[in-house]
Amino acid sequence: MSDEEYTRTFGTPRAAAEKLLVDPPREGNSKFGRRYFSGPHNIHDPKVVKIVTSERPEQKKGARRVYGGVLTNRLGALLARIKVIVQYDHKTADGVYELADDSQKIGTITAYCERVPRDKCPDAVNQT
C-alpha cells in the first residue's frame, strides 16, 4: 500500500504517527542529504526518493527507516535496486548532527543503488 493509499485509508494523523510522510531531501552536506547522494550515487531527481519511500519501509530501528525499490525498463527488465535511508528525528543516529529545532527531522540520509559498481546508479534512475 502506498503512503497515499495508507493516508486515505487511515488518515493523515495516523500516517504521520507511522512516520510515513517523507519530505523532499534536505540539501545536507558531504555526510548526508541530497549533496551526499547526488554526486557519488548519481541520484539527482528528488522524485526517486519520493517514489521509493512511498511504500512501507523494509526495516525500522528507532527513528531510522530503510526503504527499497527497483527500477525497471519499459519491458520490465531490472535496471537497479535502490535503497533510501531516512532519519525521522532531529539528530542523526550517531548524534554527530543535530537540528536546532527538535520538531524538525533530518530526513533522507542517503540513497544509492545496490549491486552496481561503487553503488552508483545508472543514468536511467533520473528519468522517472
Q: Where are the domains of the chain?
A: 22-126
Quick one: which H or E segment has residue 56? none
Express each pLDDT in 44-85 by its tens digit: 988 888 889 888 899 999 999 999 999 888 888 888 899 999
Q: Rg of the chain's alpha carbons, rounded to an integer?
A: 15
Predicted pLDDT of residue 126: 87
Q: Is the dihedral of CA 30, 52, 26, 126 positive or negative?
A: positive
- Name the amino acid, one letter, at 86: V
Asked whether residue 108 carries a pLDDT value surpassing 60, the answer given is yes
Asked whether residue 100 carries a pLDDT value surpassing 60, the answer given is yes
Dist. CA 113–CA 57, nearest whole Å: 16
**Poorest-pLDDT segment among 4-18, 49-63, 89-103, 108-122:** 4-18
Band of residue 36 on the pLDDT scale cut at 50, 70, 90: confident
Q: Do residues 49 and 108 touch, judged by C-beta distance below 8 A?
A: yes
Express each pLDDT in 110-124 by its tens digit: 999 998 888 899 998
Predicted pLDDT of residue 10: 60
* Set of cell numbers at residue 66: 530503510
How many whole angstroms from its chain centre is CA 16?
16
| SS3 category, 68 | strand
High-pLDDT (> 70) share of the chain, %: 80
